[in-house]
Chains A and B, each alone.
Chain A
Amino acid sequence: MMLYYILQVLILIGLVSTAAAVIWFKDLISAAIALGASSLILALQFYLLRAPDVAIAEAAVGAALTTAIFIFAIKSTDRTEGYK
């Protein structure tokens, strides 16, 4: 199952790089987008690890609801990081 290993390695690299994007962005809305992508890829990894229940939960909560809540919060505060 060499191919399966390669799939997981690719996914994990994607996960860590999107998480790095979350840290790197100064624009909070971009960081929220990257966080959404990160949890998207995380759900794919759950899928590969044969955890369908967890994958659905992560898909529903991580992709839709968490991003929504973050965007509401950003909307009622500031968009950019750092002092104005």
Chain B
Amino acid sequence: MNVKMSVVVRTVADIMVVPIVVFGIYLILHGHLTPGGGFQGGAVVASSTALLIVAHGAMKDNKTDLSNMESTGLTLFFLLAMVGLIMGFSLFYNSLAGTGGIFGGTVSGINPGYINTGGTIPLMNIVVGMEVIAALSLILWMMAKRSGSLEVEK
């Protein structure tokens, strides 16, 4: 009872997937400068999964990859939080802020937004984004599978 929507919808969905994913990644990467962040960007990327499911009614089985991605993201998140602890501070101490290098720049007052600031915060955004993408995609995948609106592509 899975529904394959009309050719118009499918073509537009195929074209829209890449911009949606890129836009979500933009939200994740610029989370420390503009509204957005790991959760919001992850949700936007995950909705591209929803788009594919709804347009084609079929999708590749990438549950294992998604599950691995989720666990990896969370583990990395915890380890990033542990960076401060290992250096002798407490958990979640932002020990990379202002130390130079990528994401280590300094900033003050109103500014146009420099991408290389924030210390561990952009990195945490990225790993949380990975986790959220995988988690929400997995939820959508499982529920679509159960409700019979998804065929597994080979």
Contact = CB atoms under 8 A, between A and B. Distances in A.
- Tell me if chain B binds chain A: yes
Contacts of A60: 40, 43-44, 47
B143 A65 contact: no
B140 A69 contact: yes
Interface string A47-59: 0000011011100
B95 interface: no
A73 interface: yes
Contacts of A65: 43, 46-47, 50, 136, 140
- Interface size on B, as a range, is 20 to 34
B109 interface: no
A69 B37 CA distance: 23
A83 interface: no
With a 10 A CB-CB cut-off, give which of A60, A65, A73 has the most chain B CB atoms: A60
The secondary-structure label for the interface of chain B is helix
Interface in B123-149: 136, 139-140, 143-144, 146-149
A56 B45 CA distance: 13
B1 to A, nearest CB: 8
A4 interface: no
A69 B46 CA distance: 13
A61 B43 contact: yes
Contacts of B46: 65
B145 to A, nearest CB: 9
Given A57-B43, A68-B50, A76 B136 contact: no
Contacts of A56: 27, 35-36, 40
Interface of B: 27, 35-37, 39-40, 43-44, 46-47, 50, 54, 136, 139-140, 143-144, 146-149
9 contacts: A53-B35, A55-B35, A57-B40, A60-B43, A68-B50, A68-B140, A72-B140, A72-B143, A76-B146
Top 7 A-B pairs ranked by shortest CB distance? A52-B35, A60-B43, A76-B147, A72-B143, A56-B40, A75-B147, A72-B147
